Chains A and B, each alone.
Chain A
Amino acid sequence: AQSVAQPEDQVNVAEGNPLTVKCTYSVSGNPYLFWYVQYPNRGLQFLLKYITGDNLVKGSYGFEAEFNKSQTSFHLKKPSALVSDSALYFCAVRNYGQNFVFGPGTRLSVLP
């Protein structure tokens, strides 16, 4: 069975500092990994995905994520946080022929 863990309910970071939102997963076979962001009263927006290839994936709004197969992790990162990055972030996993499984979400607050 597939599963996704986001160990932190809330992450607080000062504007201009680097941010990390953690995600670990469990899936049989090769994983397809995704990050989505949800702003208040909005649906989810796609940020980035890992399918194959380079372990460091770059996505929208300056975000990137690193796939680590040995640690089964796919942490989301950004070198310099903006107040406008404050939102709810979801990690998701799927493998071939399966549906998405989403993590519980991590609320990111970037403080001015």
Chain B
Amino acid sequence: DVKVTQSSRYLVKRTGEKVFLECVQDMDHENMFWYRQDPGLGLRLIYFSYDVKMKEKGDIPEGYSVSREKKERFSLILESASTNQTSMYLCASRPQPSSKNIQYFGAGTRLSVL
């Protein structure tokens, strides 16, 4: 089975802190994604990566950055956390060729910024 692991289930941070959310997948997938999930808004794509050291902005990249130094790991970085970044964050991965393939999700990290 594909496993996508997010390092933390719950995080509490203070405004202005730098926050790292880590995601690791064990199936050698090329594509990785970060979403945030908010009630009534569904999942919104923050950033994605098609390969090591590659990154592309999604629909809501402002206030976030990402790092993909190794194929299996995709990190989401909040440079200076703000209260409006309180949310559930979901990581996903997907193999190539990607057109018909599904995404596999981690369990999520619920981040609270105080």
Residues of A participating in the B interface, judged by any CB pair closer than 8 Å: 4, 9, 32, 34, 36, 41-46, 49, 51, 90, 96-97, 99-100, 102-105
Contact = CB atoms under 8 A, between A and B. Distances in A.
Contact of B48 (A4, A32, A46, A99): A99
A43 B4 contact: yes
A90 B92 CA distance: 15
Given A96-B99, A100-B103, A42 B40 contact: no
B12 interface: no
A43 B42 contact: no
A44 B90 contact: yes
A46 B90 contact: no
B43 A43 contact: no
B70 interface: no
Interface residues of B, number: 23
Contacts of B35: 102
Given A41-B107, A97-B99, A105-B42, 11 more contacts: A34-B102, A43-B4, A43-B105, A43-B106, A44-B90, A45-B105, A49-B102, A90-B43, A102-B43, A102-B44, A104-B41
Contacts of A49: 100, 102
Contacts of B103: 44, 46, 100
B45 A42 contact: no
A42 B58 contact: no
A34 B104 CA distance: 12
A43 B99 contact: no
* A-B complex: 8 closest residue pairs judged by Cβ atoms: A43-B105, A102-B43, A102-B42, A104-B42, A44-B105, A43-B107, A46-B102, A51-B100
Interface in B65-114: 90, 92, 99-100, 102-108
Contacts of A99: 33, 45, 48, 58
Interface in B1-38: 4, 9, 33, 35
Contact of A103 (B42, B48, B92, B105): B42
